[in-house]
């Protein structure tokens, strides 16, 4: 029907057509609209729908579709390495530090490694903070071995509360907290009722 209306010279459609086609993963329809129509879709449609690689490939050929760094950030958060790789190789919008931060927080080591090896945006201290808090130990080890952004007092505090002695030692060997973060860690510890062997240990 869409093809018929287009061929018959119908006056056009709105962005809702492509928005809905993307949202419902109708690859053939997305491909047709992207190639033959100029209305495009809303910017938020791309990442809000959790698009597939097939959808992305169809949209890539359409000059009226404007990607943003949100696309790679959200793909990284989902752990969709295929989409991250496609965006890296075929698009130039790039990503932000959120990409590695969110991939680390959600336990996607393959995405974290790809971003580290292929992108320049890096991450923030949130990557290590969240990886520690969520017990993604493989990512914690990778970040400590390969990144220099470090962490905040929150990571030390999480390890103390979790009772992760060896990881705490590893973190202490790689990350030096500044005075402000040391004060923050002290405050966090004072607020806790720890009740275990870390109560009397020296962290700072």
What digits encode the pLDDT tens for the residues 25-47?
667 676 676 665 555 555 555 55
Q: Which tokens belong to 37?
A: 């129509």
Single pTM value for the model = 0.78
E strands present in the chain: none
Residue with tokens 């009722």: 193
Residue 58 is predicted with a pLDDT of 74
Return the percentage of the chain with pLDDT > 90, whole number.
Answer: 53
* Residue 113 structure tokens: 């490694």
Determine the pLDDT at residue 13: 59
Sorting pLDDT into bands at 50, 70 and 90, what band is 61? confident
Contacts of 135 (CB under 8 A, 6+ apart): 162
Q: Which pLDDT does position 200 carry in this prediction? A: 55
Range name among 47-51, 87-91, 104-108, 141-145 with the lowest pLDDT average: 47-51
* pLDDT surpasses 50 at 159: yes
Three-state secondary-structure class, residue 13: coil
Distance of CA 58 to the CA centre of its chain: 23
Whether residue 93 contacts residue 77, with contact meaning beta carbons closer than 8 Å, is answered with no
Q: Which residues contact 136 (CB under 8 A, 6 or more apart)?
A: 104, 105, 107, 109
CA separation for the pair 197, 25 (Å, rounded):
53
- Split at pLDDT 50, 70, 90, the class of 125 is very high
Instruction: Between 125 and 200, name the one with better pLDDT.
Output: 125
Q: What mean pLDDT is predicted for residues 7-28?
A: 59
User: Band of the pLDDT at 3, cuts 50, 70, 90?
Assistant: very low
Consecutive H or E run containing 181: helix 179-191
Name the least confident of 13-27, 54-68, 123-137, 178-192: 13-27
Half-sphere exposure of 143 (CA within 13 A, CB side): 33
For position 194, what pLDDT does the model report?
45
The residue extents of the domains of the chain are 1-65
Alpha helices in 49-124 (DSSP H): 53-60, 70-78, 81-90, 97-105, 109-118
pLDDT at 195 over 60: no
Torsion-angle region of 25 (φ positive above 0: left; ψ -120 to 50: alpha; else: beta): left
- Nearest 5°: the CA angle 112, 123, 152 is 115
With contact defined as beta carbons under 8 Å apart, do 57 and 86 qualify?
Answer: yes
């Amino acid at each position: 029907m869409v093809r018929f209306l287009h061929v018959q010279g119908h006056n056009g459609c709105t962005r809702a057509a492509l928005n809905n086609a993307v949202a419902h993963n109708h690859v053939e329809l997305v491909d047709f609209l992207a190639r033959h129509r100029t209305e495009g879709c809303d910017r938020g449609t791309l990442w809000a729908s959790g698009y597939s690689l097939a959808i992305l490939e169809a949209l890539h050929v359409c000059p009226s579709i404007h990607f943003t760094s949100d696309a790679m950030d959200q793909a990284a958060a989902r752990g969709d390495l295929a989409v991250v790789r496609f965006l890296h190789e075929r698009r130039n919008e790039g990503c932000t530090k959120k990409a590695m931060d969110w991939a680390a927080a959600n336990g996607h080591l393959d995405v974290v490694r790809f971003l580290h090896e292929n992108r320049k945006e890096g991450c923030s201290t949130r990557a290590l903070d969240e990886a520690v808090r969520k017990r993604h130990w493989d990512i914690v080890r990778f970040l400590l071995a390969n990144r220099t952004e470090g962490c905040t007092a929150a990571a030390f505090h999480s390890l103390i509360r979790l009772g992760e002695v060896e990881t705490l030692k590893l973190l202490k060997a790689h990350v030096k907290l500044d005075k402000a973060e040391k004060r923050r860690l002290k405050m966090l510890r004072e607020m806790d009722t720890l009740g275990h062997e870390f109560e009397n240990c020296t962290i700072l």
